[in-house]
Amino acid sequence: MPRRTDIETILIIGSGPIVIGQACEFDYSGTQACRSLKEEGYRVVLINSNPATIMTDPIMADAIYLKPLTVESIMEICEKEKIDAVLPTMGGQTGLNLARDLFHRGYWEKNNIDIIGVDIAAIDITEDRQQFRDLMEKIGIDQCRSRTAKSLLDAKEITEELGGLPVVIRPSFTMGGMGGGIIWNEDEFERKILRGLELSPVHEVLIEESIFGWKEFELELLRDNNDNVVIICSIENMDPCGVHTGDSVTVAPSQTLPDEHLQKLRDAAIRMMRSIGTFAGGCNVQFAVEPETHRLVAIEINPRVSRSSALASKATGYPIAKIATKLAVGYNLDELKNQITGTTSACFEPTLDYVVVKVPRFNFDKFPGSDEELSTQMKAVGEVMAIGRTFPEALNKAWQGMETGHSGLGADGFEEFDRKTVRDRLLKPYWDRSLQIRNAFKLGASVEEINDITSVDPWFLQQIRYMVSLENRTEGQQLKSITKEDFNELKQAGYADKQIAWLLSQSGGKTITEEAVRKQRLKLGLKPVFRVVDTCGGEFPAETPYYYSTYEQQNESIVTDKPKVLILGSGPNRIGQGIEFDYSCVHAVLAAKQMGYETIMINCNPETVSTDFDVADKLYFEPVFWERVMDIWEHEKPEGVILQVGGQTALKLARRFHEGGFKIFGTPFEMMDLAEDRGKFSKLLEELEIPFPDYGMATNFEEAKKVAKEVGYPVLIRPSYVLGGQGMRIAIKEDELEEYVSAILKTHPENAFLIDHYLEGAVEVDFDSIYDGEQLHEAGIMQHIEPAGVHSGDSTAVLPPYSLSDKAIETLRDYQLRIAKKMQVKGFINVQYAVKGDDVFVLEANPRATRTIPFIAKATGRPESQIGVKVMLGSKLKEFDLTSTLKHYAIKEPVFPFDKFPEVKKELGPEMKSTGETIYFLEDFNDEHFRKPYEFKNLYLSR
């Protein structure tokens, strides 16, 4: 059946601010949905409160509402826009819950609005544990034994029934598995049950037989109106059951299931999807498989696109959200083409001739005291995906993209471990499990031993042991004496030159550098080839420029003779560096394309829009890791690189680009470097006669004490070269200072740290602008409601300022221009100020696209990211229309993950803790969106 003609205007509900469990994967799916519907000529109306999304860009939809995600907003929009249908499956649990709420109120029916892409009755079943159980029983799908408890007493009885602890608990209707987990012992039973009951909006908790240690699998499905179902991807969790899939290391395709059992999963998944209503769209099913018997139990089914479907799309090349949207408006799978090959059918099951590994990224460092043990409640804030021809290659590459300082799975200097710590760390699931498995092999543990402790499938362990055997073979060798064959084997297993250098330096001789390894490697003729992600294992030619690197013979990425720009993405999401940078990356691509460049994107975050295969002219799904970036540079030979849109990830590589003589577009490297160097920057401010808080540098406590006395308490102390205020603290007296200094020295041992006088009672201001050498474009001045000392990412910011004096604003503008000029800025320049009355002090300057650029773009209706990038590439500001559409005020409201870390107190300070933000448009200051944060502005300020 072709597209429906009885509907014209379709509403898409977004997922709102980034929170743990619901991140920018929904911007990816929402963006695909918008484009997919517009391609078909529908009128698209969109609601999302998250300003940092691509989906809320004017080009994505016909009408965009940056409004709070509430039923009231949706009803208001429906009345105004004459909505014919609503597509609620692209906005995660938030979108679905809103649609469901309105469904139960009878709103959709009353207003004659079709719900497409999902069956609400189906959602009700899948979200209600008992109903789901009953249904599964009816269709003959095995499950873990379980029952729902409505009280603590219930819970005790049910636990008895199931044969006692451990049991798994799952509160009904919570997002990202919130409140869920394993109860191991009596001590925690009462507390965890009560919390679960409280968190569940219907005050129900499912208590379940523990399948801890079983193998876990996921299948991603698509179904059309004709009831055709295809499996797009199978995913195996390396972490066995007990760890939320979002917190697990996962691998695609499944590795350890014989076909017989994989087909059982497939059959069961199809039966399950067909049993839950009659909708056309995407669906995710999770299974557990008992390793000894291969007994298969269904865990859950999610009838919508998800984090896993984003991963599956990037892993296979199959654009799930895009196709799911087409199915929702009436197409059948056999009427659509496979967009990767361009010639074959979309109604097929992708086959991979490579291995995909996803490793989650955590931010426990931001929440001291939080429980780091992984469980069924998701705690990861982001993830890295890597593609390799083999599991070892993909696993090493994933760790190269993590930006945790690692150069792969170990062999990179994080080598201080002993048998006991490794064993302790393996007894329970933690974020670094795969690293610790590697360490255990390094210490001589056996596959059986590690399997016994962790239940990780022996196949994965065998692969990691193989990696360690390569390491052991390499240690003690001379660089020049490694044979080409052995060298190639290391590279094929994903080892970075840096890891090889580290291994070769272990023999006690002289230290071998990464550069020396690279040189020797190239001398041996070993360089990577680039392979196409083609959905079909090479069976058909593919049109899509989506590549990964590997060490084999035939290169598939053909270099054109067009001028090229390399754009570095921002890697895994984490607190302080999230979707905002993906937004700027996408715009950088668009801007550079418009300037006539061929755009080449490098990124490793599967949740992003920038890694959609049809955004950049060429996508390299690779770690933003020096060696990998350089390999691509040498292959493509671009004119230059854009580093200023990829957050700290990309900026960290600036020095190496500069020293290697590679062109960086925009502001000169020296000036970017100067901005990071407090000493040099202060000198520049002194020259400009611009005031800044007293500060000093120190490398140990004695020095720190002296500096603190000089600048005067309270002081702000932080390591240099960090983003998101990592490790930053306010100390009001000497003993606190000592505590913080020792903490910093532990986490950042090589870093000098800065001690600033903390300006009490000052107002903080963020000033984003673009400078082209002649003219300064004032993108936006944002005044924070919370006092200076609360990280700018965590504060509620108002654009334009609401209480600054005219004189102060005039001074801000004057300083901003002088700084931009002096720093020879070409492109973005953000300066943060503290304002006390009419006095303005400079806190720091960032000559790059900041977290607030997308917020300002949405508030003003100006494509600030594109303007900035075009200026970097040589455009002048006078070529742009710079008028703002902002009528009154826009307010940026942060969102925090404290509900995920119940053991951590809510307190705000110089270290950023928020995961996301929303935008809200104010008319006056009586609005509670202003009044409330204003009232509470001092409440959470801490150190």
**Residues near another protein (CB under 8 A):** 226-228, 230-231, 253-260, 262-263, 266-267, 291-294, 333-334, 343-345, 347-355, 389-391, 457-459, 462, 466, 469-470, 473, 483, 485-486, 489, 531, 536-541, 552-554, 556
- Work out the number of other CB atoms within 10 angstroms of the CB of residue 779: 29
564 three-state secondary structure: strand
**Which CB atom, from 83 or from 262, has the smaller least distance to another protein?**
262
Nearest distance from residue 462's CB to another protein, in Å? Answer: 5
**Is residue 637 within 8 Å of residue 663, measured between CB atoms?**
no
Shortest Cβ distance from residue 156 to another protein (Å)?
Answer: 35
Whole-number Cα distances in Å, 167 to 205, 725, 767: 12, 39, 52
**Of 151 and 228, which has the nearer Cβ to another protein?**
228
The Cα 257–Cα 213 span in angstroms is: 16
Closer CB to another protein, 421 or 462, in the complex: 462
Least CB distance from residue 320 to another protein, whole Å?
16
CB of 376 to another protein, least distance (A): 24
Cis peptide before 714 (omega within 30 of 0): yes
Nearer to another protein, 385 or 490 (CB): 490
* Cβ atoms of 405 and 625 closer than 8 Å: no
Helix axes 458-474, 447-454, angle to 10 degrees: 130
Contact between 861 and 885 (Cβ < 8 Å): yes
Quote the least distance from Cβ 256 to another protein, whole Å.
Answer: 5
CB nearer to another protein: pick between 540 and 925: 540
Nearer to another protein, 423 or 473 (CB): 473
Q: What count of residues does the chain have?
A: 943
Q: Which amino acid is at 739?
A: E
CB atoms within 10 A of CB 364: 16
Specify which residues 19 forms β-bridges with. 22
User: Which residue number, 296 or 470, has a Cβ lying nearer to another protein?
Assistant: 470
**Closest distance between another protein and the C-beta of residue 336, in Å?**
10
The vertex-24 CA angle with 92 and 241, nearest 5°, equals 65
- Sign, CA torsion 243/244/250/253: positive
Q: C-alpha angle 939/942/943, rounded to 5°?
A: 170
User: Least distance to another protein from the beta carbon of 234, Å?
Assistant: 8
Do strands 43-47 and 63-65 pair parallel, antiparallel, or not at all (unpaired)?
parallel
Measured CA distances, 808 to 24, 496, 705, 803, 839 (Å):
37, 51, 33, 10, 7
What are the Cα distances from residue 456, in Å, to 242, 397, 645?
A: 11, 20, 38
Give the CA distances from residue 277 to residues 122, 141, 227, in Å, rounded to whole numbers and listed in that order: 5, 17, 11
Q: Which residue has the tokens 């053909």?
A: 558
Minimum distance of another protein from residue 552's CB (angstroms)? 4
Cβ atoms 87, 117 nearer than 8 A: yes
* Beta strands 695-698; 640-642: pairing state: unpaired
Which residue, 489 or 694, has its beta carbon nearer to another protein? Answer: 489
Nearer to another protein, 277 or 291 (CB): 291
Q: How far is the CB of 50 from another protein (least distance, A)?
A: 37
Residue whose CB is less far from another protein, 130 or 390: 390
Specify whether the CB–CB gap between 223 and 327 falls below 8 A.
Answer: yes
Q: How far is the CB of 528 from another protein (least distance, A)?
A: 13
CB 532 within 8 A of CB 522: no
Q: DSSP character for 788?
A: B
Q: Which is nearer to another protein, 184 or 466 (CB)?
A: 466
By beta-carbon proximity to another protein, the closer residue of 213 and 691 is: 213
Select 364 or 459, whichever has its Cβ closest to another protein: 459
Token duo for residue 18: 């980034």
The nearest distance, CB 344 to another protein, in angstroms, is: 4
* For helices 120-127 and 129-138, angle between their N-to-C axes, nearest 10 degrees: 100
Minimum distance from residue 265 beta carbon to another protein (Å) = 11
**Smallest distance, Å, CB 317 to another protein?**
13
Beta strand spans in 273-367 (E): 281-289, 296-302, 355-361
